[in-house]
Amino acid sequence: MLRKSIPILFAFLHGAVLLSCSQNNVKKASAKEDITLMISVLKTNLTQQYFDKNKAADLVQKLTDMEHQKMFDGLSDSVAAQQITDMLRKETHDKHFNVIAYPKNPVPQKNKAQPVLSPAGISKYLILKNNIGYIKWDLCIANEDAFKDLRKVLDSLSTCEKLIFDISENPGGDGASSAFINQFLYREKDYQTLLKKKCTGEKDWKQSEVIFNYNNGPTFFDKPIFIIASDKTFSAAEYFAFTAKEMKRATILGKTTAGAGNPGSSVSFALPNSDTFFWMFIPNCQIVTRDGHSIEGIGVKPDVLLKSKDWLQETVEYIAKQDK
């Protein structure tokens, strides 16, 4: 569940970039200077953004101790960023923490072809045998174009007797996309109050689910729902499966999800004379159920463990067995 924000420090740094870029013959920044900047920005963001203020202070002190112990001396930007990410995740058990260093001018590489996604983050949808609708949902996107695309997909599968959502490769995104889909899956609206959220600076918990109450559109209220998930299912995508499991609305198949439950904010920055950009993500909210359950560090466990190389075929076979 990503929410982007730009801390005040970044605005200052951005101004510094503009001023410094006007100077000629600026000496290229060293890895040590890059890493010093990264740690400084990280400390500020931890203090301003992380929802646990006491733990943030501990993490800032941990970074200071690592500096004093010269643990980053001689390291490259990317190795230092990974080392810091590992420390943050170990200290908090929060997989959303991330610090990445990447080149401003990357060398083109021949990567594995990525699926083409629709405006809603869907790479494929079709009707399988026995009138089962299938949606390969690879990214949680929430905007007007995404909502229109979701409606188009759901409309096209409205006559199906069952529905499979494949989120096995979905890293998350905007949780409002799940809320939009959920309105067509649940007859009763109590799922909307299942999750509650509290963010940095807030004293009280508030409802997490975005409310959509359309009066028209396809309904799957009485149709069985199946969700394929894996350890690559992350963040907002996990909450789609988590809500369905908690509400006993769907059968979850596959493997336990990543367990990345805390939303956050991201920031990118760089020294003007450096070849390296940094990107970091800091959790700034907590989400739990009204009964206090959380997926953080736990994930969503499947009702059915999938073991074959073809999870979709295995899921279809499982559904067929349930119909006998």
Same domain, 201 and 319: yes
Q: Are 314 and 172 found together in one domain?
A: yes
Q: What pLDDT does 7 receive? A: 37
Residues 127 and 91 grouped into a single domain: no
The pLDDT of residue 19: 38
When pLDDT is averaged across residues 227-248 and rounded to a whole number, the result is 97
Same domain, 24 and 92: yes
At 61-89, the pLDDT tens digits run 999 999 999 999 999 999 999 999 999 99
- Cβ(59)–Cβ(50) below 8 Å: yes
Q: How far is Cα 7 from Cα 44, in angstroms, rounded to an integer?
A: 9
pTM, full prediction: 0.86
Task: Identify whether residues 171 and 255 lie together within a single domain.
Answer: yes
Whether 181 is in a domain gets the answer yes
CB count in 10 Å sphere of residue 46: 23
* CATH number where 312 lies: 3.90.226.10
The CA–CA distances, whole Å, from 9 to 60, 172, 269, 283, 294 equal 16, 27, 10, 17, 32
Q: Per-residue pLDDT tens for 15-73? A: 334 334 444 566 888 999 999 999 999 999 999 999 999 999 999 999 999 999 999 99
> Do 205 and 279 fall within a single domain?
no
Q: What is the pLDDT of residues 119-172, one digit of tens each?
A: 999 999 999 999 999 999 999 999 999 999 999 999 999 999 999 999 999 999
> Do 169 and 219 belong to one domain?
yes
CATH code for position 51: 3.30.750.44
Establish if 1 belongs to a structural domain: no
Instruction: Provide the domain count of the chain.
Output: 2
Do 128 and 225 lie in a common domain? yes
If asked whether residues 21 and 70 sit together in one domain, one would say: yes
Boundaries of domain holding 293: 122-261+288-323
The confidence score (pLDDT) of residue 113 equals: 74
Above 50 in pLDDT, residue 236?
yes
202 and 303 inside one domain: yes
DSSP state of 87: H
